[in-house]
Chains A and B, each alone.
Chain A
Amino acid sequence: MSLKRTAFYDVHVRLGGKIVEFAGFEMPVQYTGIVEEHHRVRSHVGVFDVSHMGEVEVWGKDALAFLQSITVNDVSKLSPGRVQYSAMCYADGGIVDDLLVYHMGDHYMVVINASNIDKDIAWMQNNLTGDARLKNISDDISLLAVQGPASLATLQKIAGLDLAPLEYYHWVRGTIAGQEMVISRTGYTGELGYELYFPSDRTLGERIWNAIMDAGKEFQIGPVGLGARDTLRLEMGFCLYGNDIDQTTHPLEAGLGWITKIDKGPFNGRDTLVKAKKDGLQRKLVGFMVQEKAFPRHGYPLQVEGREAGHVTSGTFSPTLEKGIGMGYVPAGNAKTGAAIQVMIRNKPVPATIVSVPFVKKQA
C-alpha cells in the first residue's frame, strides 16, 4: 500500500522536515530538532500538521443513542459547541481507540487516531443502531494544531472573531486567514492551544499555514514534528493508543476512569468494567521518573523489589525536566505515588519513583 501525504507534505519538505512513515502517512518527525521544537511549544507557539487524524461524522436522529452505546463517556452531557474526550471499548473492556466527540449541532464529529481509522470505522459500522449513519471525512479534512502560550495571540491576529472567550474543550465556527473553519480549543500538549479543521487542499492549506506562520513570527512560532508531539503529550501523562492503551487494556486501569461513566446506561464494555471495578483493579498505569541519567523506552521491563512487574508503555527523555520519564502498568498494590520501582535499562535495574501525572504541571 502506498503511503499517504497530507496537504502540507510539500511544506514539510521545504522546511527541512525529516519525513518518516507514521500510520500509513509520510509525516515530519522533526524539523530542526525535537528538543528545540518541544521548548518552542512550552514557551512560545508551534504548529503541528495532524491532518493524518481521522474524522467521522455521525448523522441521524439516533446519532446520540448510537454514540452513547459505543463510547464510554456521557455524550448526553455535550451541547452544540462542546467537545468531549472519550474512548470506544470492546465487550471485554479492551480499548478500540481513544477519541474526541464534537457536538456539531445537527450531527456529531468523532476524531480518531490515524492508525485506527479503518478498524474504528468497521467497528462503528458493525455496531450501528437505529437511524444513525457514518460519513468518513478523514481524507477531506486538514487539521492543524497551534499550541503554546502565544497561540491565542497568534491566531487572534488573523481571526474573524474574538477567540478569547472560547473555553477549553469548546469549538466555534469562524474564519482564520479568511477561511471558514472549525476552531477548537483542544490539543494534546497541555498548553493553551487550538486545533483548526478545514477542507483539505494544498493551495488553501499552504495559504493558511503561511498566514499562521506570519502572524506568529513576532512570538517565535515554528513548525513542530511528531517527535515533539510525543514528548509533549508524555510530559502531561496523556495516553498514546498503541503504547499506553490498546485492546488488551481497559480504561479504568489506564487511569481513564474520569471519562468512563458507568452510570450513564448500557455501552460496549460496561459489564466488564463494572465487574473490574467491583473486583478491584489488578494493575494500574502509572507515571515514573528515573533517578539516574538513563531513559526508559517502550518495552523495557519494570520490576518491583526485583520481581518482574510489567513493562514501559511510553518512555522518553523529558526536555522540560531533563530527566527520564515513563509510564507503564504495575500491580495495583504497588501503584502508589512515591513508591520505588526499577526500570530494566539494558539488563541493569535502574531506580525510579512513581509520581503523579502530569509530570509537568500546566493549565491548558
Chain B
Amino acid sequence: MTLPENLKYTKDHEWIRVEGATGTVGITDHAQGELGDVVFVELPAAGKAVKRGESFGTIEAVKAVSDLYAPATGQITETNNELSANPELVNKDPYGKGWMVKIKLTNPGEIKDLMDAQAYKASIGK
C-alpha cells in the first residue's frame, strides 16, 4: 500500500493534491484495496459547487458502493472522463490516472485541517 507524502487525506479515504488554488481529488490505495474492483464512478459535472465533507459522487465496486466526500469546499472545474471507460484506473493507479475531480478551492485554509500521510496511516491502523 502506498501513501504519497505530498498529499493530504480525509478520514473517508480521499486524497487531495493542492497546486495553487486547485486541488485534485481521488481515493487512497487503501480504499481501492478495500473496495475491490471498481466498475463505475459517478461524478458531478464541471461547475458544480461542493462543500467540505459532503458527498460529491459515488464509487461502485463489484460488491460494494461508497460515497465520495469532498475534502475541501469549492467548485468542480474538471472531472476525469477516462474513468467512464476505464474505471479500473482507480484500482491500478489511485494517485495518478485514477484521479476523480479537480476543485477550485474557495477556502484553501481548510487544507491544513486534513491529515498528512502519517496521520492517515495511523487512522487506518497501519
Nearest to B40 among chain A residues (CB) is A293
Q: Separation in Å of the A131 CB from the closest CB of chain B?
A: 46
Q: Of B40, B60, B62, which contacts A227 at CB under 8 A?
A: B62
Main secondary structure of the interface of A (DSSP, over half): mixed
A319 and B62: CB pair below 8 A? Answer: yes
In whole angstroms, how far apart are the Cα atoms of A29 and B40 in the complex?
20
A34 and B62: CB pair below 8 A? Answer: yes
Main secondary structure of the interface of B (DSSP, over half): strand
Nearest to A230 among chain B residues (CB) is B63
Instruction: Produce 1/0 per residue, A223-251, CB < 8 A to B.
Output: 00001001100000000000000000000
Q: Separation in Å of the A33 CB from the closest CB of chain B?
A: 5
Q: Separation in Å of the A28 CB from the closest CB of chain B?
A: 12
B37 and A35: CB pair below 8 A? Answer: yes
A231 and B65: CB pair below 8 A? Answer: no
Which residues of the other chain, A, contact B40 by a CB distance below 8 angstroms? 293-295, 317
Q: Separation in Å of the A230 CB from the closest CB of chain B?
A: 8
Nearest to B36 among chain A residues (CB) is A34
Question: Is residue B105 contacting chain A, with contact meaning CB distance below 8 A?
Answer: no
Instruction: Produce 1/0 per residue, B33-63, CB < 8 A to A.
Output: 0001101101000000000000000101111
Which residues of the other chain, B, contact A316 by a CB distance below 8 angstroms? 62-63
A34 and B63: CB pair below 8 A? Answer: yes
Which residues of the other chain, B, contact A295 by a CB distance below 8 angstroms? 39-40, 60, 65
Which residues of the other chain, A, contact B60 by a CB distance below 8 angstroms? 294-295, 317
B37 and A34: CB pair below 8 A? Answer: yes
Nearest to B34 among chain A residues (CB) is A18
Which residues of the other chain, B, contact A293 by a CB distance below 8 angstroms? 40, 42
Instruction: Produce 1/0 per residue, B17-42, CB < 8 A to A.
Output: 00000000000000000001101101
Closest 7 CB pairs of A and B: A35-B37, A34-B62, A317-B39, A33-B37, A317-B62, A293-B40, A34-B37
Residues of B within 8 A of A (CB): 36-37, 39-40, 42, 58, 60-63, 65, 91
Residues of A within 8 A of B (CB): 29-30, 33-36, 227, 230-231, 293-295, 297, 316-317, 319, 322, 346
Besides A295-B65, A319-B62, 4 new A-B residue pairs in contact (Cβ under 8 A), listed by A number: A30-B36, A33-B36, A317-B39, A317-B61
